[in-house]
């Protein structure tokens, strides 16, 4: 099995386990996301060094770190604004470390689309779509406005969503369409 497929499968597996935890408890365990995040660069180094030499291993290690940084950046900014959970940030960073920047960012983009479509459908079903969109706009604009013009959004007005299943769907989709 080619190395990229092994790491993509590992990403699907970690997202599947994260989804189970996220749906049951609303939390993604650190041992899962941080474990994958820590092991991915080492595994990339070992795989590439064994197949293509130490220089390739060092390069793969660096690309894995770059994937973690790139895939963790946007979710981290969302976490800072209160619109993402910390477990989601770590899961997406781990996905980037496992799948490297290109595939990691593809999975992240697909996950955002899947999550947005599911969220809007769920919110429309419950009759809270417009209120939630207004709260989202306020949260998005608040950091850009002076403090006196910021609109507070109380926590009880927020609608929590589980994001790990969207990551799982996106990773599985990438695994299905990934060129062989």
Per-residue pLDDT tens over the stretch 39-85: 999 999 999 999 999 999 999 999 999 999 999 999 999 899 888 89
If you search the block for the tokens 């969503």, which residue do you land on?
161
Integer Cα distance of 65 and 67 in angstroms: 5
The two tokens of residue 3 are: 């190395």
Residue 11: predicted pLDDT: 96
What does pLDDT average to over the chain? 90
pLDDT tens-digit readout, 122-154: 889 988 888 888 877 877 888 888 888 887 777
Predicted structure pTM score: 0.83
The percent of residues above 90 in pLDDT, for the chain, comes to 67
How many structural domains comprise the chain?
1
Mean pLDDT in residue range 5-12: 93
pLDDT band at 180 (very low <50, low <70, confident <90, very high): low
Q: Which of 128, 123, 121, 88 is nearest to 107 (CA)?
A: 88
SS (H, E, C) the chain: CCHHHHHHHHHHHHHHHHHHHHHHHCCCCHHHHHHHHHHHHHHHHHHHHHHHCHHHHHHHHHHHHHHHHHHHHHHHHHHHCCCCCHHHHHHHHHHHHHHHHHHHHHHHHHHHHHHHHHHHHHHHHHCCHHHHHHHHHHHHHHHHCCHHHCCCCCHHHCCCCCCHHHHHHHHHHHHHHCCC
Q: Give the range of the structural domain holding residue 98, as residue numbers without chain letter.
A: 3-177
What's the pLDDT score for residue 3? 65
- Confidence (pLDDT) at 5: 85
The pLDDT score that the predictor gives to residue 151 is 78
Q: Is the pLDDT of residue 1 over 60?
A: no
């Amino acid at each position: 099995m080619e190395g990229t497929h092994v790491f993509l499968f590992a990403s699907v597996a970690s997202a599947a386990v994260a989804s189970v935890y996220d749906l049951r408890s609303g939390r993604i365990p650190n041992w899962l996301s941080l474990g994958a995040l820590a092991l991915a660069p080492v595994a990339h180094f070992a795989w590439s060094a064994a197949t293509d030499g130490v220089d390739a291993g060092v390069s793969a290690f660096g690309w894995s770190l770059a994937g973690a940084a790139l895939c963790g950046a946007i979710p981290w900014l969302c976490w800072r604004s209160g619109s993402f959970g910390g477990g989601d940030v770590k899961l997406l960073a781990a996905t980037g470390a496992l799948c490297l920047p290109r595939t990691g960012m593809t999975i992240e983009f697909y996950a955002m689309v899947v999550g947005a479509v599911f969220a809007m459908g769920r919110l429309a079903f419950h009759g809270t779509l417009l209120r939630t969109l207004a709260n989202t706009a306020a949260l998005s604009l608040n950091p850009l406005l002076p403090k006196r013009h910021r609109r507070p959004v109380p926590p009880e007005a927020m609608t929590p969503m589980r994001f790990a299943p969207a990551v799982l769907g996106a990773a599985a989709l990438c695994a299905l369409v990934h060129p062989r």
